[in-house]
Structure 1
Amino acid sequence: MNFEITPLTLAGACQDKSDALIVLVSEGFLAGKDALSLLIAHALEAKDLELKAGKILAAYRVPGIHSPKIWLVGCAQGTPVQVKTALSAVMPAIKSAQSKKLTVVFASAPQTPAVQAAILTVAEASYVYTTTQSKPVGRSLSLLKLGVPSLSPVVQKTFDIATAMAMGIEVAKEWANRPANHATPTLLGEAAKALSKAAKFSCEVLGPKEVDKLGMGSFMSVAKGSREPLRFIVMKYQGTAKTQAPVVLVGKGITFDTGGISIKPAAEMDEMKFDMSGAASVLGVFKSLSLLKPAINVVGLIPACENMPDGLAVKPGDVVTSMSGQTIEILNTDAEGRLVLCDALTYAERFKPKAGIDIATLTGACVVALGAVRSGLFATDDGLAHALEQAGEQAMDLCWRMPLDEDYADALKSNFADVANVGGRAGGAVTAAKFLQRFAKAFAWAHLDIAGTAWKGGAAKGATGRPVGLLMHYLLSHESAHQNKVSPSSRKVKSDAD
């Protein structure tokens, strides 16, 4: 889908020739003399339109208004959350109408963050997965035009960021949604290579021989049971001087998780294709970075493999040696995500990062604790934790900080290795984070457990693209801090999706 933003008053919107027109009406609306203003004013006076967020009034072929299909939608005070609620309520009708071109206009000057909410909500609602369908029902919406009463540089910048985020989220959804036989580690590596070639950042894909040479015994142990060879993907985005330390993102890339020898129950095991959602989010972030071209440095690491119960698969009780030299007793082969991440975190040390963040669908315990609303956040640095929490609020991609008390590490003690890979059911999300913490002592570290937020089940089954929005706001905050010291350069964002 393509995106446009334009100065558009209600009088101007009357002349708009899109297939469908959505007018977001908030409190404090002042009517003019144009046909749209009069329509809204009469509807409010007759109480046919309420300003409560999500209340809708539909109209068809109103004299003086060129768009044939019109939806007036209440959005209360016009906060980002209320704009999201309003557009989420009306978008099913837009999809049913199979409109190709949609204009969304704010009846009053919007809060700047509401512009982002509008872009992301429409993009979310219009996404359709088609890759493996023989007769795909393609996305009908091809253009979203966003109209605001006046277009300031701040609003333009917000729009540019939002459209880049929307395209990154779509990449993340696409790869997380693909069935495991269409998203193998090899295919994931090829996707990263293709993205890097188009976006002109560097990408290296390492295979089993290179990973073995690095001494990643923990990562390799997980891949042993699969005929699909592992891949270790290293992406580097350089937007500023090499002397500036990068942020390193590490995405869990288990392209399918059977649980290995500690095999999972059959029910809903198909959803384990989503176990590489952390990796997909890193791909999505790099898509967004390639569009925005911010003045920051970012490294993306994706350890990708399958977890399968072959005769060569690692067994409960086996002891392996990680890249760090620490030995690990594998008590449960279904706790494999931490085994691939720990070696990637050790590898991250070579970049001397200002911060390292891993993103993983890691524990069912985090789903129990936080459900599908907030991702679990663990961090060794208070400043990093606060920045990620703030970024989540700005992106409406929420997280919640969880504890890292040292007492939790006692559950990981082993009689046969330096550490066990599980510590029992109690506090499972925390003990998983404590395991990873052992391998991330060389830099400020955070862990995002997205097991509850990366995808939806049931009738709405599919990837959410989270936490691309959170990560992008966090990364862009580094650019803002840098630009306080250096004169900013102008930048234009391409706003058409691939």
Structure 2
Amino acid sequence: MAETANILFPVNVVVGSEGSNYDSVVIVGTGLDIDHFQGGVLKKYFDPLLDYKQVDAKAEEEVFVLRLPGNYAIKRLVYSPTGPLNRDFDDVRVFADAACKGVKRALAAGSDRPLVFLPTQHGQFDGYDLATVLGTFHALYVPLEIREAMPIRQQKVLELGFGIPPEIKLSFEKTLLVAQAIEQGRIVCRDIGGSDPERMAAPRVADYIAQIFEDSPVRVQMMYDESSIQVNYPLLAAVNRATRGVKRHQCRVIQLTYDPKGPISKTLFLVGKGVTYDTGGADVKAGGHMAGMHRDKCGAAAVAGFFQVLSKLRPKNIKVYGAMAMVRNSIGSECYVSDEIIKSRAGVRVRVGNTDAEGRMAMADVLCEFKEMALSEV
């Protein structure tokens, strides 16, 4: 189902105040006063919003839904306030949060064709438009396991629109292209990081990655041979010992390379922790602290997502190497234990102090390998 790791619904730019195909208006707002509406594409919505503000003192603090009167083509309006923009701790994420909350409220109200209007004011935050789009997309993500188990629920909306004033059309269209590439990377990241420890056990992560980057500019290499793992990544091999008898849990080192044509001026190396499930090992996570540890692979998931963004945007003059150290920290007769001394790839003798520190064990040898490679790169 890697083919569903994409934006599955049409995304349109609507210039002006209303599109005929939509069933809700979502306004990401920075204030309910005339200064925020005068002369803009949202001016037509000011009167009903002002009427509502008269009866709700929380109107500029909480998301609310209005039924618009009969002279409006779209009857459902959701207003989602950003809150203040001028406090020392405010940042551009307030736009993403407001967009996400607004779209979720529209979905809960029954909308499947929302039209999201960008804020008319944004203070000092030039990236408000990108943040608003990404917040909108975040609300529309459907987990991989749901997409696979219930194909009818693969997408939350049939269509998505972004309402903008005509003067920002060209710049916003460029922003939207970047946002869609970033969101496709975030989908890959969420699919790997959020799926359960069986659906995204190391071998199945490898299968997913192979499908995602097929026919893309990203080159994929997998290492899974036990003897090769032992020689090249002895610390990771120690963590992997407990899974050697369980084929579906056995480790993978997944290496990704983005190397575009033309001169290279910079090289990046990224290593991600990919612990598919962390029991703590022999130093077991007791007392209910193990729940949720399928997310211990989110570092590796972020690396995969970053490469998906690279594959979509295809930037020039930069080479990127990535590694996903995928391993399960299991308990069993073969598991590594505290007080073991293991010689790393770098030749350093490592004494294990706690088996719940498996992340550094999984990544240290891969980092060493990348250090060796970096010596001959730009």
Q: Specify the TM-score bucket, using the shorter chain as the normaliser.
A: 0.7 to 0.9
- Give ranges in structure 1 of 5+ residues lacking alignment: 356-442, 444-498
Map 1:192-341 to 2 at 5 A.
192-207=209-224, 208-214=226-232, 216-226=233-243, 227=246, 228-241=249-262, 243-295=264-316, 296-341=318-363
Return the alpha-carbon distance in structure 2 between the equivalents of residues 33 and 241 of structure 1. Answer: 45
Look up the equivalent residue of 1:160 and give its one-letter code. Answer: L
Mapped contact 2:275–2:329 kept (Cα < 8 A): yes
The corresponding residue for 1:155 is: 172
The corresponding residue for 2:26 is: 22
Deviations 1:197-221 (A, max 9, x none): 142310000112332343x211111
Return the alpha-carbon distance in structure 1 between the equivalents of residues 326 and 52 of structure 2. Answer: 59
**Kindly tell me: are residues 289 and 98 of structure 1, through their superposed partners in 2, closer, same or farther at Cα, counting changes over 3 Å?**
farther
Q: How far apart are 1:56 and its partner, in Å?
A: 4.1
Q: Report the 3-state secondary structure (helix = DSSP H, G, I; strand = E; otherwise coil) of the residue aligned with 1:197.
A: coil
Deviations 1:34-57 (A, max 9, x none): 9x6243135326734779754445
Map 1:72-111 to 2 at 5 A.
72-75=79-82, 80-106=92-118, 108=120
Map 1:95-494 to 2 at 5 A.
95-106=107-118, 108=120, 112-129=126-143, 131=145, 134=149, 138-149=154-165, 150-207=167-224, 208-214=226-232, 216-226=233-243, 227=246, 228-241=249-262, 243-295=264-316, 296-352=318-374
Q: How far apart are 1:252 and its partner, in Å?
A: 0.6
The corresponding residue for 2:88 is: none
**Kindly tell me: are residues 183 and 39 of structure 1, through their superposed partners in 2, closer, same or farther at Cα, counting changes over 3 Å?**
closer
Q: Report the 3-state secondary structure (helix = DSSP H, G, I; strand = E; otherwise coil) of the residue aligned with 1:204.
A: strand
Which fold has the larger relative contact order, with Cα–Cα distance below 8 Å and residues 6 or more apart in sequence?
Answer: 2
Q: How far apart are 1:115 and its partner, in Å?
A: 1.2
**Kindly tell me: are residues 190 and 266 of structure 1, through their superposed partners in 2, closer, same or farther at Cα, counting changes over 3 Å?**
farther
Q: How far apart are 1:8 and its partner, in Å?
A: 1.9
Q: How far apart are 1:165 and its partner, in Å?
A: 1.6
Return the alpha-carbon distance in structure 1 between the equivalents of residues 262 and 44 of structure 2. Answer: 55
Q: How far apart are 1:222 and its partner, in Å?
A: 0.8
Q: How far apart are 1:6 and its partner, in Å?
A: 2.4
Q: What TM-score do the two structures reach when normalised by structure 2?
A: 0.82
Look up the equivalent residue of 1:223 and give its one-letter code. Answer: N
The corresponding residue for 1:31 is: 38
Return the alpha-carbon distance in structure 1 between the equivalents of residues 295 and 376 of structure 2. Answer: 29
Q: Report the 3-state secondary structure (helix = DSSP H, G, I; strand = E; otherwise coil) of the residue aligned with 1:320.
A: strand
Q: How far apart are 1:335 and its partner, in Å?
A: 0.9
Q: How far apart are 1:354 and its partner, in Å?
A: 10
State which drifts further: 282-291 or 239-248: 239-248
Query: Could you tell me the percent identity over the aligned residues?
Result: 19
Mapped contact 1:189–1:205 kept (Cα < 8 A): yes
Look up the equivalent residue of 1:148 and give its one-letter code. Answer: I
State which drifts further: 176-185 or 20-29: 20-29
Return the alpha-carbon distance in structure 1 between the equivalents of residues 11 and 110 of structure 2. Answer: 19
Look up the equivalent residue of 1:340 and give its one-letter code. Answer: A
**Kindly tell me: are residues 45 and 131 of structure 1, through their superposed partners in 2, closer, same or farther at Cα, counting changes over 3 Å?**
closer
Return the alpha-carbon distance in structure 2 between the equivalents of residues 353 and 259 of structure 1. Answer: 35
Mapped contact 1:54–1:86 kept (Cα < 8 A): no
Q: How far apart are 1:277 and its partner, in Å?
A: 0.9
Look up the equivalent residue of 2:296 and give its one-letter code. Answer: D
Mapped contact 2:24–2:111 kept (Cα < 8 A): yes
Return the alpha-carbon distance in structure 1 between the equivalents of residues 242 and 338 of structure 2. Answer: 13
Aligned Cα RMSD in Å?
3.0
Q: Report the 3-state secondary structure (helix = DSSP H, G, I; strand = E; otherwise coil) of the residue aligned with 1:205.
A: strand
Return the alpha-carbon distance in structure 1 between the equivalents of residues 333 and 341 of structure 2. Answer: 17
Return the alpha-carbon distance in structure 2 between the equivalents of residues 168 and 88 of structure 1. Answer: 18
**Kindly tell me: are residues 74 and 229 of structure 1, through their superposed partners in 2, closer, same or farther at Cα, counting changes over 3 Å?**
closer
**Kindly tell me: are residues 8 and 243 of structure 1, through their superposed partners in 2, closer, same or farther at Cα, counting changes over 3 Å?**
closer
Return the alpha-carbon distance in structure 1 between the equivalents of residues 299 and 95 of structure 2. Answer: 28
**Kindly tell me: are residues 239 and 156 of structure 1, through their superposed partners in 2, closer, same or farther at Cα, counting changes over 3 Å?**
farther
The corresponding residue for 1:6 is: 13
Look up the equivalent residue of 1:39 and give its one-letter code. Answer: Y
Q: Report the 3-state secondary structure (helix = DSSP H, G, I; strand = E; otherwise coil) of the residue aligned with 1:187.
A: helix
Look up the equivalent residue of 2:112 and give its one-letter code. Answer: K
Return the alpha-carbon distance in structure 2 between the equivalents of residues 130 and 206 of structure 1. Answer: 25
Q: What TM-score do the two structures reach when normalised by structure 1?
A: 0.63
The corresponding residue for 1:62 is: 69
Aligned residues: 351
Q: Report the 3-state secondary structure (helix = DSSP H, G, I; strand = E; otherwise coil) of the residue aligned with 2:206.
A: helix
Return the alpha-carbon distance in structure 2 between the equivalents of residues 319 and 244 of structure 1. Answer: 41
Look up the equivalent residue of 2:15 and give its one-letter code. Answer: L
Q: How far apart are 1:164 and its partner, in Å?
A: 1.6
